[in-house]
Every structure is written in C-alpha cells, then in structure tokens.
Amino acid sequence: MQTIRTVAELRQAVIQTRRPNKRGGFAPTMGYLHEGHRALIEASRAQCDVNVVSIFVNPIQFGPNEDLGTYPRDFLRDEQLCQDTGVGILFAPGTTEIYPAGFETFVEPGEIAKPLCGAFRPGHFGGVATVVCKLFNMVQPDVAFFGQKDFQQCAVVRRMTVDLDLPIKIITIPTVREADGLALSSRNRYLSQQERQRALAVSRGLFAAAEKFQAGERDVGRLLAIAKQHLTAVDRLEYLDLVDCGDLKPADSPLRSTALLCVAAYVGSTRLIDNIIMPLPT
Ligand code: AMP
C-alpha cells in the first residue's frame, strides 16, 4: 500500500495504476476508521481492481460550534487497517493541500441539502459536496462507496455527480451496527458508558417503528410516535422524520412508496444520526 500526502503524488500514482478495463474504487473518509469504513473498503475491493481510501477531516463541513478541533484521530491505526484490508492507495492530505491559500470556489448543492441535517447544519453539505468533488477529480474513480448511515450525504453526492456530469457510479453500503444495534460512528468514542447505553434509544426507536411497519402499519404519524417513545432517553431530539427516499421531502400518509425513517439526536454533547429504510413492494 502507498500512503500519499500530496495531490501531485496522488495524480502520479493514479496515472500509474490506471489500465483499460480496470475499475478504480474509492472510499472517502474522515478517519478514525471502524467496521463501517471497513465495509466500504471491502465492497470496493470486491468490485474494483484499484482501491483508494482518503482520510481527511474536512474543515469546511464543520460549523463554528461543532467538533472539528476534537474530532478523533489515530492515523497509525487507520493506516494499519487500510493495509490489512487490501487498500492500494491511502491518500491522507493536510488541510493546506486541499485548501491552499487563495481557495475560493465551492460546490453548492440544491434542495436535496435543505431538509433534515441540512436544516440544522447550515453549510455542511456545501462543504461535503466541495471536498467530495475535489477528491473525485483527484482520485478519478469509476466507483465511489458511501455509507447509508449518512443517507442525505449519499443523496447530495449522487445528485452532484448527475448535475456536474461526473462519470462516477455511487454505491451505498448498508449501515454497520454494534451487536446491540448502535450504528458505528467515529463520534461514538465521545460517549461515556452511561451515554452509550442511552444512545441505544436511537436505533431502538427506528427498529420499533420498522417492526410496526413490517406488521402492516402505514400511517406516518403512528410510525413516528412509536419511534418517539424510545427517543425520550436522548437529551435533545433534533429531528425525527419519515421522508421520501428520493427527494427527502415528508412522506405521504399512508406510506405509498419507499420511505426513510431518520433521526438526529444529542446524547450528552454528542450528535448521533441514524436511519432505516422502509421498502414498499412496487
Ligand atoms: P466518516 O469518516 O464518518 O465521514 O464516514 C466515511 C464514510 O463511511 C461515509 O460514507 C459514511 O457514510 C461511512 N460510514 C460511517 N459509518 C458507517 C457505518 N456505521 N456503516 C456503514 N458506513 C458507514
């Protein structure tokens, strides 16, 4: 595995590894890798010949009062995980490599970035779209892998690739969870033992609603109410919504197409997000 720090070296490595009929796979991350990231890398390995992972804590997707300064990092452990998982190129640039002095051009996503997390984290998805667009241009993958846990991020990136004519296939990988249901996240490391226990309310709420859905419940209000009963254990519920999987607008009641039940909540000072898809037979 090559560990690369600069865009110039990355371009050289990409040129050297590119062959006709060889697929390039890419998984962008912010590091502090866990089994969710590993699932992305393994999918990339299974589907592609050359596999690139990036580790970059992207400052422009954090709000002024968010956790940029404390975001967990452990580069050596991450590098080992990438090595062990068969990554070909690990790209880990510094901030000025991605945003050198004079940088002033941004990607601005449209409506898809407005609801849910977009409503609570102004500028977040603009920061995500900008860095992902830049990374796509640097890595030039054929396929890029993203996690369903960040469903709206997947939707924003998918929309961007279509709107900006980027010839990259976006694949969404199902959320990897702990045995007790908690969605893996680098931010779980912020949770105390007691908070970790209360954080289970998030996935439990989603699963309880999904169970009712499986049993035939299609009323949006009733499904939300079931999830909400569990979410009383969190410190602050930012949103709990049932939305259309395509445009992320509020789902019609009774549900008529595949919907996404999604939640963002604080446990202590840690912001957690999670979601579950409720598929309807077409
Ligand atoms: P992050 O490092 O948190 O920015 O995440 C990098 C990528 O890993 C994103 O595409 C995330 O959606 C994905 N990811 C994060 N957590 C999980 C998880 N529990 N299961 C699957 N993918 C995940």
- Atom number, ligand 1, closest to the C-alpha of residue 175: 20
CATH number of 2-173: 3.40.50.620
Query: pLDDT (tens digit, 9 = 90+) per residue, 234-271?
Result: 999 999 999 999 999 999 999 998 999 999 999 999 99
Q: What's this model's pTM, rounded to 2 decimal places?
A: 0.97
Q: Is the pLDDT of residue 19 over 70?
A: yes
What's residue 113's pLDDT?
A: 98
What's residue 282's pLDDT?
A: 62
Q: Provide mean pLDDT across the span 55-83.
A: 97
Q: How does DSSP assign the chain, residue by residue?
A: -EEE-SHHHHHHHHHHH--TT--EEEEEE-SS--HHHHHHHHHHHHH-SEEEEEE---GGGS-TTSSGGG----HHHHHHHHHHTT-SEEE---HHHHS-TT--------GGGSSTHHHHSTTHHHHHHHHHHHHHHHH--SEEEEEGGGHHHHHHHHHHHHHTT---EEEEEPPPB-TTSPBP-GGGGG--HHHHHHTHHHHHHHHHHHHHHHTT---HHHHHHHHHHHGGGSSEEEEEEEEETTT-PBPPSS--S-EEEEEEEEETTEEEEEEEEE----
What's residue 208's pLDDT?
A: 97
Name the residue at shortest CA distance from atom 18 of ligand 1. Answer: 36
Query: pLDDT (tens digit, 9 = 90+) per residue, 33-49?
Result: 999 999 999 999 999 99
Name the residue at shortest CA distance from atom 17 of ligand 1. Answer: 36
CATH number of 186-274: 3.30.1300.10
Q: CATH topology of 2-173 equal to that of 186-274? A: no
Query: pLDDT (tens digit, 9 = 90+) per residue, 98-122?
Result: 999 999 999 999 999 999 999 999 9
Q: Where are the domains of the chain?
A: 2-173, 186-274
Q: Which residues does ligand 1 sit against, CB inside 6 Å?
A: 29-30, 36-37, 39-40, 146-147, 149-150, 173, 175-176, 183-186
